[in-house]
Amino acid sequence: MVMTENLLGIIAGILTSVSMIPQLIKVIREKNVEDISLLMLLVLISGLSLWVWYGFMKDELPIILSNSFAVLVNISLLVCYIIYNKK
């Protein structure tokens, strides 16, 4: 039963972690962040960072790894937003 829970956590973590990669690739290719919400990115990065902290508090490696990866992807998107924002 524990293995099933861990597997579920790992699969969920992978799916949520890679969910923003297509958006990041699109932004890098098109160099266009017009449709990206800065507030959404900041809230998402904050929430993901809190999940990482929670993962450390609970000593849950799947939570730590998946959310750390998601933080990195979204920080990359934030950097692109700063670089490519024309406003």
pLDDT tens for each residue of 24-66: 999 999 999 999 999 999 999 999 999 999 999 999 888 998 9
CATH of the domain at 39: 1.20.1280.290
This prediction has a pTM of 0.88
Q: Per the structure, how many domains does the chain have?
A: 1
Task: Find the domain containing 68 and state its range.
Answer: 1-84
pLDDT value at residue 1? 59
> Own/partner pairs for 11-20, CB < 8 Å, 24+ apart?
12/66, 13/62, 13/63, 13/65, 13/66, 13/67, 14/66, 16/66, 16/70, 17/66, 17/67, 17/69, 17/70, 17/73, 18/73, 19/70, 20/70, 20/73, 20/74, 20/77
pLDDT value at residue 24? 95
